[in-house]
Amino acid sequence: MDIAVVDVLFDAFGPFLLPAALFAAGVVGYGILLLTGRLLTSETADAGDDTADADRHQG
């Protein structure tokens, strides 16, 4: 970002800009972690279900 853009935003929003930016970054970060966790959990659950089905059919 250009320094002029930061100056304009700071002049418009004042000291509220920093907490709002940190909150927005936290929401984005949490969303990425949540999505990654769900993807990894679904892959692990899918692999576990296949082996459980195979065990049930064998004995």
Phi, psi of 2 (to 5 degrees): -80, 145
End-to-end CA distance of the chain: 63
Please give the residue that has the higher pLDDT: either 41 or 2. 41
Task: Give the pLDDT confidence score for residue 56 in this predicted structure.
Answer: 59
HSE-CB of 56 using CA atoms within 13 angstroms: 6
CB 18, CB 10: distance < 8 Å: no
pLDDT tens per residue across span 7-55: 888 888 888 888 988 999 999 999 999 999 999 998 777 766 555 555 5
Please give the residue that has the higher pLDDT: either 8 or 1. 8
User: What are the boundaries of each domain within the chain?
Assistant: 3-58
**For residue 6, what are the CA distances in angstroms to 9, 12, 21?**
5, 10, 12
d(CA 54, CA 38) in angstroms, rounded, equals 25
